[in-house]
Structure 1
Amino acid sequence: MTETLGSPVGRKRPDSQLGELHLRGVSRAYGAHTALNPLDLTVKGGEFIALLGPSGCGKTTALNCLAGLLPLTEGEIVLDGRRVDTLPPEKRGFGMVFQNYALFPHMTVRANVAFGLRMRGVGKAEARRRVDEVLRLVRLTEQAHKHPGQLSGGQQQRVAIARAIVMEPPLVLMDEPLSNLDAALRLQMRSEIRRIHQEFGLTTLYVTHDQEEALSLADRLVVLRAGRVSQIGTPAELYERPADPHVAAFMGYRNLLPLTIASADAAGAVAEGRDLRLHGTPVGARPLSPGDEVVVAVRPEDLRLAEAHEQAVTEAVAEIVEYHGRVLHVEAVTRAGDRLYLKTGRQVRPGDTVTVAVAPERALVFRAPDEEGTP
């Protein structure tokens, strides 16, 4: 068997690795305000689950309930057949990685990583072996003698991860761990987190508001809005078939167009209004009828400059044109004032009138949500 550099060599996964974690009707309220509506989720050992949504959607509340930092209003948390929501945080044995790293500035990297083991009374020889192993895994062996202030932001984040996983926890909880890093470092650390997750056999629950981050890291995503689950699924499922306009917006469908159904049948739907007319693919179990209000979602890469033979969606005037190498990102405005976002390899300048088109299978037609956000 080929050994992976930095992996737990010659060992099976830690005995504490979980089999299944069940969140059953987990909710949290503050008086009359419900921050998290009943959440049901099963996490299998080795999975990487991302909780995704805007600020205030309930994702950090869910994480804190799981960690034991907030008591549940209702529901239960069951780890491998044992209820743990009644236990204090330190008895649950979960690893935590915070947004601000929470490192001890007066301690070396080695001392920071070893701190939890020392508090638990792990023997010196065993503690040294585990710390050495984890420092190799996060590629910080040469920085072991340094203090946090001597490290880069990415290195500090890796110390925080090492400190969490050296305890061999059944579950690692990460609360927006990359939000304080610059764009280039975030990309690098995404790969590092995924590598560490795989090589150490972790089970991870990860909170983020960044859909690209969630798509690149997670096995499954839980999209939250106003404390409610909008959709749970694999990155491919959510990317290709978002359940509603809210999920579509998080999955990169930047064009969300409020229109009215002109006609609908088994072949698709035609939606129009505000100088727009397009053929699209209905999403949802309820059939659409003429006159229904809808939201049509289209990705910028799927809204393109129309060819001469194509049926155009509308005309618009290019207002902002950004150079992104071989592709231009264009923001255009229709006569009715709607903003359209598209990408093209053709030459476009600000002020140009463009005619745009989209393939019917790339335009998703959702029933317009009501005031409570329900389609």
Structure 2
Amino acid sequence: MSFDKLRLDGVTRRFAGRPGLVDLTLTIERGEFIALLGPSGCGKSTALNCLAGLLPLSVGSIWADDTRLDTLPPERRGFGMVFQNYALFPHMSVRRNIAFGLQMRRLPRAEVRRRTDEAITLVQLEEHAAKLPGQLSGGQQQRVAIARAVVLEPALVLMDEPLSNLDAKLRLEMRTELRRLHQSLGLTTVYVTHDQEEALSLADRLVVLRDGRVQQIGTPEQLHTRPANRHVADFMGYRNLLPLTVTEKVGDRVVLARGDLRLIGTAVAPVDLGDEVTVGIRPEDLRLVDADAIPATVEVVEYQGREVAVEARTADGVRLHLRTPDRPAPGHKIHVAADPDRVLAFPTDDGAGG
């Protein structure tokens, strides 16, 4: 079932009266790659299962252009699905598993073979094409499931953490291949993950969920540089989340302080003098300077290739996390500073995800 726009209007799903997903409203353009992102239990897999038709909606509707989908069974929606449980046919070889959907559509034999061969090559399983699923590793089985979904070239592909069982090297390779496949086949993809790096690298837009509620929808750059609230910031890698007080205001710039810790930052939402705020800073946005900045003592240093990850502590006991090409040693006294554009002040009572 092809479409120009896929629309979710107020999609809500309750479990025994408790909300699993609340009022998800989203329009997906044909060809978009959408990532549903959030911690375990945030509602992202519930949203995917509602789209797939595996869970009925409690409230709301789903539309493909002017066709209502949430009243249709899963098989009539025509979506490709890749879930964490691989759901492969145990008695069929890799090749037969991948070809099954094409054969059910009664495509010409030559077309089935060509598309099956291409899918097997895509997921790097040429040497395993004749094996049964039980003879494969978990990662190899997941690759078969990915190939089986995309070989049909469906209007929408739904993926629930499809790379979770792959080793780090193959995960990076498959991430690139998934994006390439999405672009070359003109697929529309909805992808569930808890990995913010994976979501940033793959998606055109991200939907961040918490406790079943949407926290923010935006491009990777928007969420990376301007998270809407402290919960999104926390999930998007703002490891430094510091409780500070607004002591001065100049436009959207604010001076933030606690003890010997003083920063100039940018208010994400309106704040007043004296307000308690949560200040978010990425580790890579803190830098070492000679003086006239935040004094701290290095406690832990972790080697990470070209950079080291440093955990330091101020005299008042505030922990700071930074990444730097320098090599401070535990016990060293350092001074830390940050660009005001990279220091984000969030109202502590922003009420996100209530």
Aligned to 1:73: 58
Give, in angstroms, the shift of residue 57 of structure 1: 0.7
Aligned to 1:107: 92
Identity %: 63
Aligned to 1:160: 145
Q: Which moved more, 1:132-141 or 1:239-248?
A: 132-141
Query: Aligned partner of 2:332: which letter?
Result: D
Give, in angstroms, the shift of residue 354 of structure 1: 1.8
Give, in angstroms, the shift of residue 17 of structure 1: 4.3
- Which stretches in structure 1 are left out of the alignment for 5+ residues? 1-15
Give, in angstroms, the shift of residue 248 of structure 1: 1.1
Q: Distance in 1 between matches of 2:248 and 2:17?
A: 43
Q: Which moved more, 1:40-49 or 1:270-279?
A: 270-279
Give, in angstroms, the shift of residue 145 of structure 1: 2.2
Please say if 1:41 is aligned against 2:26.
yes
Aligned to 2:244: 259
In the alignment, is the contact (CA less than 8 A) between 1:104 and 1:148 conserved in 2? yes
Q: Distance in 1 between matches of 2:95 and 2:191?
A: 25
Paired residues for 1:297-308 under 5 Å? 297-308=280-291
Is the partner of 2:346 in helix, strand or coil? strand
Query: Aligned partner of 1:223: which letter?
Result: V
Please say if 1:180 is aligned against 2:160.
no
Q: Distance in 2 between matches of 1:244 and 1:111?
A: 48
After superposition, give the CA deviation of every residue in 1:58-100 in whole Å (9 maximum; x if it has no partner).
1010000000110001111101321110011111111111113
Aligned pair partner of 1:350 in 321, 325, 330: 330
Is the partner of 1:85 in helix, strand or coil? coil
Give, in angstroms, the shift of residue 125 of structure 1: 4.6
Compute the TM-score of the two structures, normalised by the length of structure 2: 0.93
Across the two proteins, how many residue pairs are aligned to each other? 354
Give, in angstroms, the shift of residue 137 of structure 1: 4.2
Structure 1 stretches of at least 4 aligned residues deviating more than 6 Å after TM superposition: none
Query: Aligned partner of 2:70: which letter?
Result: D
In the alignment, is the contact (CA less than 8 A) between 1:154 and 1:185 conserved in 2? no
Q: Distance in 1 between matches of 2:15 and 2:252?
A: 47
Paired residues for 1:1-375 under 5 Å? 16-122=1-107, 124-151=109-136, 153-266=138-251, 268-284=253-269, 286=270, 288-308=271-291, 311-312=292-293, 314-369=294-349, 372-373=351-352
- Which stretches in structure 2 are left out of the alignment for 5+ residues? none
Give, in angstroms, the shift of residue 250 of structure 1: 1.8
- Shift in alpha-carbon separation, 1:115–1:280, aligned structure 2, 3 A: same
Q: Distance in 2 between matches of 1:105 and 1:135?
A: 17
Q: Distance in 2 between matches of 1:95 and 1:319?
A: 49
Give, in angstroms, the shift of residue 121 of structure 1: 4.6
Give, in angstroms, the shift of residue 126 of structure 1: 4.3
In the alignment, is the contact (CA less than 8 A) between 1:18 and 1:203 conserved in 2? no
Aligned to 1:8: none
In the alignment, is the contact (CA less than 8 A) between 2:142 and 2:165 conserved in 1? no
Q: Distance in 2 between matches of 1:194 and 1:186?
A: 12
Give, in angstroms, the shift of residue 339 of structure 1: 1.5
Query: Aligned partner of 2:229: which letter?
Result: D
Give, in angstroms, the shift of residue 110 of structure 1: 1.1
Q: Distance in 2 between matches of 1:134 and 1:179?
A: 20
- Shift in alpha-carbon separation, 1:267–1:26, aligned structure 2, 3 A: closer
In the alignment, is the contact (CA less than 8 A) between 1:171 and 1:203 conserved in 2? yes
Give, in angstroms, the shift of residue 139 of structure 1: 4.5
In the alignment, is the contact (CA less than 8 A) between 1:17 and 1:168 conserved in 2? no
Q: Distance in 1 between matches of 2:3 and 2:290?
A: 55
Q: Distance in 1 between matches of 2:117 and 2:284?
A: 46
